[in-house]
Amino acid sequence: MSRAEAGGPLLEVEGVSVRFGALIALNRVSLGVAREEVVAIIGPNGAGKTTLLNAISGFYHPYEGRIAFAGRDRTHLRPPDVAALGIARTFQNVALFRGMSVLDNIMTGRLLKMRGSFLLEALYWGPARRQELEHRAAVERIIDFLEIQGIRKTPAGRLPYGLQKRVELARALAAEPTLLLLDEPMAGMNVEEKEDMCRFILDVNQEFGTTIVLIEHDMGVVMDISDRVVVLDYGRKIADAPPAEIRSDRAVLDAYLGVAHES
């Protein structure tokens, strides 16, 4: 039995530092995420939030510290291998396949789940056809879930920003991840779109038991949907607590409002 199954955290980040030349983007950050938890990472611009997400998903490699997923060390894996472990993510500046239809975009999310011979696939015959249909069905469920039925065939690049973010979430969900990393899923959205997105994130968490780590600037959203809030400032972790406690945390207020707030 692995440690995770024995009740250990799903994701463990231990003393991770990332530097770019002389700039230390992350400074010995440690963080544990339990299964089925929703953790929000907040902090001022340049605090290292996206860097942390990139380190977890393998785009950056820390020069010290370790990252373990489901009890196994995976500090030095590359992005495709991280994805294969069941970690999916979205990007701050939507990274969709702009020329492909929404449906195809979401189908790419299932690439890791597909097997079989190219020849059969090219002929769309036999097991390949069955497989394609099975995956298609799974994708349709996600499309229904995220309420994007109407834009199935639209090239992703032509959609408004809010919908692109939703399609990106759909693609990440298509991989049926254990851990979902969301980089500012609500940036640039209006209130209504934000509410929808909040609802989707909570539904994903509750219905599929997906563990979620998200970066978000909107404090209202963060307080509403997260079980725990991690605060970064200048590459260091300055707080890690449930939302209610974060609200009154001195260090957090300092970081956000400046030091002389109660003189």
Interface residues toward other proteins, by CB under 8 A: 57, 59, 78-81, 83-84, 88-89, 91, 95-100, 104, 107-109, 111-112, 114, 116, 118, 121-124, 128, 132, 155, 157, 171-172, 175
Could you tell me the smallest distance in angstroms from the CB atom of residue 252 to other proteins? 30
Could you tell me the smallest distance in angstroms from the CB atom of residue 89 to other proteins? 5
Could you tell me the smallest distance in angstroms from the CB atom of residue 153 to other proteins? 14
**Of the two residues 120 and 251, which places its CB atom closer to other proteins in the complex?**
120
Amino acid at 252: V
Q: Is 192 exposed, middle or buried (0-12, 13-18, 19+ CB in 10 A)?
A: exposed
Q: How far is residue 51's CA from residue 99's CA, in Å, rounded to a whole number?
A: 28
Residue 168, phi then psi, degrees to nearest 5? -65, -40
The gap from C-alpha 113 to its chain's centroid, in whole angstroms, comes to 19
**Of the two residues 107 and 212, which places its CB atom closer to other proteins in the complex?**
107
Q: How far is residue 245's CA from residue 263's CA, in Å, rounded to a whole number?
A: 22
Could you tell me the smallest distance in angstroms from the CB atom of residue 204 to other proteins? 17
**Of the two residues 59 and 234, which places its CB atom closer to other proteins in the complex?**
59
In order of 13, 189, 229, the CA distances from 219 in angstroms are 24, 14, 10
Could you tell me the smallest distance in angstroms from the CB atom of residue 69 to other proteins? 14
**Of the two residues 91 and 200, which places its CB atom closer to other proteins in the complex?**
91
**Of the two residues 36 and 176, which places its CB atom closer to other proteins in the complex?**
176
Closest residue by Cα to residue 49 from 183, 143, 144? 183
Q: How far is residue 180's CA from residue 230's CA, in Å, rounded to a whole number?
A: 16
**Of the two residues 123 and 257, which places its CB atom closer to other proteins in the complex?**
123
**Of the two residues 40 and 96, which places its CB atom closer to other proteins in the complex?**
96
Residues 155 and 99 sit within 8 Å (Cβ to Cβ): yes
Residue 219, phi then psi, degrees to nearest 5? -60, -35
Could you tell me the smallest distance in angstroms from the CB atom of residue 142 to other proteins? 14
Could you tell me the smallest distance in angstroms from the CB atom of residue 88 to other proteins? 7
In order of 24, 89, 111, 203, the CA distances from 185 in angstroms are 26, 10, 23, 15
Closest residue by Cα to residue 55 from 95, 21, 22, 19? 19
